[in-house]
Amino acid sequence: MGAPQVSTSTAGPAEATADYLDQRTGIAGAVKEFARKVFPDHWSFLLGEIALYSFVVLILSGFFLTMFFVPSMGLIEYHGEPATMNGQLMSEAFASTLHTSFEVRGGLLMRQIHHWSALLFMAAIVTHMMRVFFTGAFRKPRELNWMVGFLLMILGLAAGFTGYSLPDDVLSGNGLRITDGVVKSIPIIGSYMSYFIFGGEFPGEDIIPRLFTLHILVVPGLILALVALHLFFVVLHKHTQYPGGGRTNANVVGFPLFPVYVAKAGGFFFVVFGVIAAMGATMAINNVWNYGPYDPSPVSAGAQPDWYMLFLEGSLRLMPGQTEYVIAGYTLSLNILIPAVVIPGLLFTFLAVYPFLEAAVTKDKREHHVLDRPRNVPVRTGLGVAFLTAFIILALAGSNDLIATHFHLSINAITWVFRVLLFVGPVIAFWITKRICLGLQRKDRELVLHGHETGRIVRFAHGEYIEVHRPLDDQERWLRVNYTAHAPLEIEPATDSRGVRRKGYKKDRRLQRLSRFFYEDRVEPVTPSEVAASHSHGEHDALGAADDTHAVESGSAVGGGSHIVSPDDTGSTTH
């Protein structure tokens, strides 16, 4: 007799609902497969989750604010709190912002939560991209996912800009004025684009409603779509993992999504939400009533945009002003075009194309699921640090007036220092970072070949002094030897066997030169033969075998002296 059939009527509500959905959608298979996905356990993977959870907080708080904000530039006389704004002429957008802050229960808290979560959202995205860049998580098959992340960063900038421009205060109005100047600096089409964006001469009457539509509808919709695509790629490609013993491109060492990471992710969401709420409740930000409604005549001192746009402000402040030319009746404003269009374009282009550039100079077609240690790719790490150095210098330049007033320095001297640093700083940062990485690699070779220094000095009967070294365990050794040191590209000759110039030689030659820049200076990982050679030390074998006190296994000559390796804690002395 078969097992008795259990009636679905006796099942609980959750089981009955799940069964109902499965019979009509077949969702059980997808849920089962997804729940069994394994994710590695490392704190740096939480950076992406912080970005995701911050975006959820943005959506929730933004929904609240949307119910009270009036996206109109129509002028009204405001009556209400604070007293400094009472009776002033202002736009309906600014008036509704004041009303939300002072009249709506919890309105100011929600405004500040919304603003802080936007700052944290961008900070998490940038930090997450730094982690991906320095560890090489963008390599095949994740190039497209890198581009998705890059577009999410650009959309985050757009969301932030459209958001803090909505209150129509002096600070945001000056930001829009700068935007108008940047758009107009674009040759030939700039003035037409400005009329299209603002609906006429700046500021017009349409920019706030248009920004509102972009901010609450277009940009969030695109971000949601790209977040879904980003997560789909993460599941499709399986998760990357840090190098270590037993971790290969064919497996993932970690915990399943359900129940471990479901519980962790749920708890972490409330941690992020709680931190943002605490910041919104205790840290005042964007107090628009201190600036007043937008008026094109005043520009307040010490006015800076949010941190993620500060690099653009700094770039504009560093550019000399006497760089305008009139060509064929068109004004070419290099003093705005270069800092606001060319320099950001170069920085963002570098981020977007780097994965494809590195793939071209390595000719590496393999899939990579194990991350790089930054020290093992010195040029990539150096370029990343150089990029961050340029970004930080531009951000500091965007606060040159505050630096001058707080430290009682000349703003002109500060500006010239930052101008020089913008060109010299990234080069120095690249060189120092690359040398540090190569030094760390050489230190890894030394550790694999000779073990850790213990500080114990042994004297043999014939008077020679030896330092005792502790061998690496399997995990430490694997971490330091399991990587590929790419060599510069080898290309075919310029001409074939008949003396005919080969097609594509110039392109190959350019890639070869670029690959030399990337990989000419490199440190090869230790090979088994090198380990064996380091263990062969002639007469010390006999001395080690006879030394019961120190259980000497091996030694090697180092700079005229030598050392021996003591047994590890487990009693094994095998390297």
DSSP code string of 183-195: HHTSTTTHHHHHH
CB 170 within 8 A of CB 382: no
- Pair of tokens at residue 308: 């993620």
pLDDT at 570: 41
Q: Return the HEC string of 277-293.
A: HHHHHHCCCCCHHHCCE
439-473 tens-digit pLDDT: 999 999 999 988 888 888 888 888 888 888 888 88
CA distance 220 to 227: 10
* DSSP designation for 370: B
Q: Rounded to 10 degrees, what is the CA torsion of 105, 107, 108, 114?
A: 150
Per-residue pLDDT of the chain (575 residues; tens, 9 = 90+): 455 544 444 557 878 887 887 787 777 777 777 777 788 888 898 999 999 999 999 999 999 999 999 999 999 999 989 999 999 999 999 999 999 999 999 999 999 999 999 999 999 999 999 999 999 999 999 999 999 999 999 999 999 999 999 999 998 998 899 899 999 988 888 889 999 999 888 888 899 999 999 999 999 999 999 999 999 998 888 889 998 878 888 888 888 877 788 888 889 999 999 999 999 999 999 999 988 999 888 776 677 889 999 999 999 999 987 777 888 777 788 889 999 999 999 999 999 999 999 999 988 889 999 999 999 999 999 999 999 999 999 999 999 999 999 999 999 999 999 999 999 999 999 999 999 999 999 999 999 988 888 888 888 888 888 888 888 888 888 888 888 888 888 888 877 777 778 888 888 888 889 999 999 998 988 888 888 887 665 444 444 444 433 333 333 333 334 455 554 444 343 33
Tell me if 61 sits within 8 A of 117, measured CB to CB. Answer: yes
| Parallel/antiparallel/unpaired status of strands 465-470 and 561-565 | parallel
pLDDT at 561 (0 to 100): 41
In 3D space, the residue among 364, 359, 561, 525 whose CA is nearest the CA of residue 447 turns out to be 525
Give the pLDDT confidence score for residue 455 in this predicted structure: 85
Contact partners, residue 466, CB within 8 Å, separation at least 6: 457, 458, 459, 460, 555, 561, 562, 563, 564
Residue 444: its pLDDT value, please?
A: 92
What is the structure's pLDDT at 490?
85
What pLDDT sits at residue 235? 85
Torsion of CA 185, 189, 192, 193, to 10 degrees: -70
Q: Which residues contact 327 (CB under 8 A, 6 or more apart)?
A: none
Helix (H, G, I), strand (E, B) or coil at 514: helix
Whole-number pLDDT of residue 69: 95
Cα 299 versus chain centre, distance: 33
- How many residues are present in the chain? 575
